[in-house]
């Protein structure tokens, strides 16, 4: 059973991360076009390539999507983090598994 505090902190981390990021709305993209949750990911202007860890800022959300690298990601939050780590080379390709 997950600790309720850690479950609440993970989405809060993601929301806070996006509030600190540059707010250049015309350069962000909503992922995916359909689904339970949409993520606005500023993949061109935020460099997380230095971050070597793994993070799931949306635990419990299962919304499979395919990245441009032909890898299936569990949800748009994880795909956004991977995109930021790759400096925008990996992006949303389509809903569902690859």
**Residue closest to 6 by CA, chosen among 63, 60, 53, 62:** 60
- Residue 70 per-residue DSSP state: S
Q: Tell me the pLDDT of the chain (98 aa) as tens digits.
A: 455 555 455 555 555 555 544 444 445 567 777 777 888 888 778 888 888 888 888 888 899 999 999 999 999 999 999 998 998 899 999 999 99
Question: Could you give all domains of the chain from N- to C-terminal order, each with its CATH number?
Answer: 4-95 (3.30.60.30)
List the beta strands (DSSP E) in the chain: 29-31, 39-41, 65-67, 72-73, 92-95
């Amino acid at each position: 059973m997950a600790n309720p505090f850690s479950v609440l902190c993970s989405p809060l981390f993601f929301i806070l991360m996006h509030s600190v990021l540059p707010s250049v709305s015309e350069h962000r993209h909503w992922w995916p076009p359909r689904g339970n949750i949409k993520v606005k990911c500023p993949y061109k202007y935020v460099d997380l390539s230095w971050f070597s860890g793994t993070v799931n800022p949306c635990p419990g959300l299962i919304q499979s999507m395919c990245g441009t690298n032909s890898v299936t990601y569990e949800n748009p939050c994880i795909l956004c983090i991977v995109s930021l780590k790759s400096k925008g080379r990996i992006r949303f390709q389509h809903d569902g598994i690859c």
